Amino acid sequence: RNKKFRTKLGQWSFGQLRSFLEYKGLLMGVPVVVVNPRYTSQICNVCKYIGKRTNKHFKGQNCGSHMDADVNASINIATLGRAINRVGKSNDMCCTIAHVHSGLKPNPSLCVVG
């Protein structure tokens, strides 16, 4: 993409971008799944434990994986989206910190960590 497009995209608020995606998804018949992005860049997509994010770099503290922090977050968001769309139980993604901040109690039968 060119610089003008990137500049315009960078000026959108997160809520405005989300509303555009929902509108276009509805228009094209594509389901849009909304996922809470909280902690997605701090949770390792490999072992599902909290890791260390330093600027654009992520390191999994438990498994030692190294990657770009945004790539790690996008993989986590995609995993959460698949879990939401799945009928029945989800065992793809679970983090106890997400349960604490959401007010929900963790359910071990629905969560597999590591």
Residues 57-98 pLDDT 10s: 999 888 889 999 999 998 998 888 787 766 555 555 554 444
Give the pTM. Answer: 0.58
Q: Are strands 52-54 and 57-59 parallel, antiparallel or unpaired?
A: antiparallel
Q: What is the mean pLDDT of residues 30-53?
A: 86
Position 113 confidence tier, pLDDT thresholds 50, 70, 90: very low
Sequence spans of domains, the chain: 1-30, 43-87
Choice between 26 and 15, residue whose per-residue pLDDT is larger: 26
Give the integer Cα–Cα distance in Å for 60 and 67.
9
User: Residue 21 pLDDT > 60, yes or no?
Assistant: yes
Give the integer Cα–Cα distance in Å for 82 and 92.
8
User: Residue 52 pLDDT > 80, yes or no?
Assistant: yes
Half-sphere exposure of 63 (CA within 13 A, CB side): 15
